Amino acid sequence: MVFSSLAFLFIFLPVTLAAYHLVPTRYRNVVLLVSSLVFYAWGGPRYLPLLAGEALVSWALALLIQTARTEREKSLLLALECVVLLGLLAFFKYTGFILANVQALTGGEGDVFSPVLPIGISFYTFQLISYVADVRRGTVAAQPRYWKLLLYCSCFHQCIAGPIVRYETVANEIDHRSATANDVYLGVRRFCCGLAKKAVLANSCANVADALIPVGALGPQSVSGYWLGMVFYTLQIYLDFSAYSDMAIGLGRMVGFHYLENFDHPYQAHSVQDFWRRWHISLSSFFRDYVYIPLGGSRCSTPAYVRNMAVVWLLTGLWHGASWNYVLWGAYYLAFLLFEKFVVRGRMPRVLGHPFTLLVVMVGWVLFRFENFGELGQVLAGMVGIGAKGLTSLSVRTTLLQNAYLLVLSIVACTGLGTWLHRTIGMKARSNEAIFTAYSIGEMVLPAVLLLVSVVALAGASYNPFIYFQF
């Protein structure tokens, strides 16, 4: 089940919210836990014991860390947590990749064993590790009740594809939270905005990108065709993933959870470093706080700094997928971040920084999109005119004209223009009765309109999972 499915929108979510808000307060966590386990089991019931088991291990080790007498014992228990959880993640996510490479090196033949990747394992594994690490640091107290820790890591709002929610963010709200009518409204509005972003914009951008540069069926294309396809994929991946985060944040708000923002208009960044401060913030902050800083961060020698960055970006690439293109993608960003650090040194004018960053990011998405190195090379070469079918073609120009409105609307949706406009009108409404009336009516009908438009878009669509489900 996905947030953008009709079954979720008209059956699961209404039933869950009705049950949650109708039962006495002391039973609301139980309703949320049961609904979360049902939601997770819907997509893969055989891996529900894995989720519950990892939560059990983390719960027990955190309690042992809290009562351990020496720092050495605490560190050993944290190391055990990492070995168990990262070992399971490595088994499910990287076994096939490792065996395939061993087979290629040794000249072996036959099918390679590759376990089915459990849904959401990368996200809930990192959440549980961060929880135990924070208990080790003493920044949070260990959760005494197992089922509440299971609720934390399995909550259907963010278990499948993030954001990676730190335990400290919701520790107090697990036991002490409330959702006012305004919270419910703001949650519904945020959810509907995310739904429209996914159903109307991201899915439409995906259709154009797949038509121009289809993965697994890539044919000859003109230079403009390669670039236009990557423009739409660049828009798609942001709109798709940020939509999921919007919907997760909205769902949490409906029941009193306040999750942190996961995106901050990354395509408005003026440097590659700035881009990674704005993109997938929960993952970037995880690697910063639990890998980069413990290794020494930037307060060390230049060789050590480069090593720390290399470790972080190797792990970032591998986290996204068990394929060499993701490793290359991580190395690519490492190279540009080091370039900015040691060569540019912050001297690039902002007027050049923005287009430079967009170009770096768009080429990076080529590495991200194509796991097959033949297709990857074809697109990169075609974008500079090597092996391409001319500069443009009638079909590419037609595609652009047919999707001009989609392109403009999607670009606007990637900026902060909508937020600025909403805030500006809201401020003017305070001093103008006519504007206030129009603003109030708009606030009431906007979620319903977005929901209706999204449902119409989804009604004739095939299965459309979020991109980050695969990670």
Query: What residues act catalytically?
Result: 320
Residues 6+ apart with CB under 8 A from 178: 256
Length in residues, the chain: 471
Rounded-to-integer distance, Cα 198 and Cα 243, Å: 6
Q: Is 402 helix (H, G, I), strand (E, B) or coil?
A: helix
Q: Give, in order, the Cα–Cα distances in Å from 319 to each of 115, 238, 253, 282, 471.
A: 16, 18, 28, 13, 7
Count CA within 13 A, CB hemisphere, residue 50: 23
Asked if the bond preceding 465 is cis, omega within 30° of 0, the reply is no
Dihedral sign from CA coordinates of 423, 424, 430, 434: negative
Rounded-to-integer distance, Cα 50 and Cα 45, Å: 10
Rounded-to-integer distance, Cα 263 and Cα 69, Å: 40
Residues 6+ apart with CB under 8 A from 462: none
Query: At 452, phi and psi to the nearest 5?
Result: -65, -45
Q: Is 410 helix (H, G, I), strand (E, B) or coil?
A: helix
Rounded-to-integer distance, Cα 109 and Cα 104, Å: 9
